[in-house]
Amino acid sequence: MKRPAFYRTFEHTADLGIEVDAATEAELYANAASAMFTEMLGAPPPRGDRELVVRVEGRDREDLMVRWLNELLYLAESRGVIFGHCRDLELEEAGLRAVCLGIGLEEAALEIATEIKAATYHQIEVSRTDRGFRARIVFDL
């Protein structure tokens, strides 16, 4: 599978690990969502026209990342929609708000290649780098 340049996977026992890079902190959360759904689908998610405002709160940036990704997984499972593209992402002290664009799994004839159950707190890291921001996330499969 050809992955977007903004992320890569890493080895983790029985789970999936990804490292995501971005120029801005807001872009980091959007890229993490896109990377998660790319791994789930085995290809970058198509841009849909279903819009949903998603709000999530967290104790810190790592907690926020886990809650953000798990909320998107919940929405995918409960609504049958992959929200793989986000815009107007606003970070606040203890939360984020984003407009997410989704596409129905059936509508786009999409199949899940890798079942991701949850983003975990194991080895979670959100940090500033000399080129922007990086997140390290482990998913339970």
Determine the pLDDT at residue 30: 96
Q: Give 138's pLDDT tier (boundaries 50, 70, 90).
A: very high
Cα Rg for the chain, rounded, in angstroms?
14
Q: Please, what is the average pLDDT of the chain?
A: 91
What is the share, in percent, of the chain residues with pLDDT greater than 90? 72
CATH superfamily of 7-140: Archease domain (3.55.10.10)
Q: In the structure encoding, which two tokens stand for residue 33, read together?
A: 């969502």
Determine the pLDDT at residue 1: 67
| Interval 12-21 mean pLDDT | 86
Q: Give 124's pLDDT tier (boundaries 50, 70, 90).
A: very high
Nearest to 114 by CA among 25, 40, 10, 36: 40
Whole-number Cα distances in Å, 103 to 47, 75, 82, 141: 7, 12, 5, 22
| Interval 9-38 mean pLDDT | 90
